[in-house]
Amino acid sequence: MINRRSPFKTLLIYLLVILLLALFLFPIYWMFIGSLKDNSVLMRLPPQLYPTFSTLESYKAVFSNAKYMKYILNSFIVASMTVVIDLVFSVFAGYSLSRFHYPGRKAIMTITLSAQVFPTVVIIISLYEFFSKFKLMNTYHGLSLADVAMSLPLSVWMLKSFCDSVPRSLDEAAKVDGCGRFMTMMRIVLPLLKPGMLAVGIYAFLMSWDDYMLGLVIMTKTPLKTLPVGISETFLGEFGFDYAGMMTISVVASLPVLLLFLVFQKYMVAGLTGGAVKE
């Protein structure tokens, strides 16, 4: 900056940023304090804007409900499997697209980036038949596989750009030393991709944790349902007026991803923006 900003202008910028931030964060605050009140307080006007810590009843209700515990466990199992499969597949594909210039490479990259043109809802119309044929309906690995397919396009793209930033001379040096192609990838390039893999892993977890439509169609048996589907069934149905319960399960469903993100946000931002900004 050539001319220094006046302190007044600086203050104005901070005030604006903080105001906007408050608007974005308020619903999250509202959810947290709502989960700590009971329904008699929530259904009272004017609304209480401050948190009270008098009741944990709705948390007790959630954690003593075997059905919820099962939904949460199912979501965790599916999301973890999704992360592992997505990472292995996207490291391979990202490395491949970054290093080898085989025929058809460009077409593959175009399809990868345009995969979102294919709507999930159109896929599920006929996914049922394929998944039945391969015995993937109502299985953890079936739903993970579907989740993997949804997160792979961006995962591959992110890892390709992380691979691009690893100097090729490393590969060549390894080759001169007699290292095979697979070992070059695993021993030389992979250790340098850790930040990228962290970003992709978190992204895959967020995607799978957020999925509602695929879970709705693939997991038809109650003991296998994932958390979003379970929440939707409960609160669009008989518990539509249990606002405290609604906010509590919302907190429970948000906390794992919120914490995961806050701990690793640096890698996440790098992963999201890395592939897009490069000229």
Site for another protein in 149-178 (CB under 8 A): 149, 152, 156
Q: Phi-psi region for residue 197, left (φ > 0), alpha (ψ -120 to 50) or beta?
A: alpha
206 binds another protein (CB under 8 A): yes
Q: Smallest distance, Å, CB 129 to another protein?
A: 7
Site for another protein in 71-100 (CB under 8 A): 88-90, 92-93, 95-97, 99-100
Q: Smallest distance, Å, CB 202 to another protein?
A: 9
Q: Which is nearer to another protein, 46 or 191 (CB)?
A: 46
Among 69, 73, 84, 129, interactor with another protein by CB under 8 A: 129
Q: H/E/C letters for each residue in the chain?
A: CCCCCCHHHHHHHHHHHHHHHHHHHHHHHHHHHHHCCCHHHHCCCCCCCCCCCCCCHHHHHHHCCHHHHHHHHHHHHHHHHHHHHHHHHHHHHHHHHHHCCCCCHHHHHHHHHHHHHCCHHHHHHHHHHHHHHCCCCCCHHHHHHHHHHHHHHHHHHHHHHHHHCCCHHHHHHHHHCCCCHHHHHHHHHHHHHHHHHHHHHHHHHHHHHHCCHHHHHHCCCHHHCCHHHHHHHHHCCCCCCCHHHHHHHHHHHHHHHHHHHHHHHHHHHHHHHHHHHCC
Q: Which is nearer to another protein, 145 or 224 (CB)?
A: 145
Task: State the Cα angle at 226 between 221 and 229, rounded to 5°.
Answer: 85
Q: Smallest distance, Å, CB 266 to another protein?
A: 8
120 binds another protein (CB under 8 A): yes
Distance of CA 30 to the CA centre of its chain: 23
Q: Smallest distance, Å, CB 250 to another protein?
A: 4
Only segment of 53-61, 62-70, 191-199, 250-258 that touches another protein (CB under 8 A): 250-258
265 binds another protein (CB under 8 A): yes
Number of residues in contact with another protein under rule CB under 8 A: 101
Q: Smallest distance, Å, CB 147 to another protein?
A: 9
Among 28, 56, 170, 173, interactor with another protein by CB under 8 A: 28
Among 51, 63, 118, 165, interactor with another protein by CB under 8 A: 118
181 binds another protein (CB under 8 A): yes
273 binds another protein (CB under 8 A): yes
228 binds another protein (CB under 8 A): yes
Cα distance between residue 90 and residue 111, in whole Å: 15
Q: Smallest distance, Å, CB 79 to another protein?
A: 11
27 binds another protein (CB under 8 A): yes
Only segment of 50-58, 66-74, 188-196, 248-256 that touches another protein (CB under 8 A): 248-256
Q: Smallest distance, Å, CB 68 to another protein?
A: 14
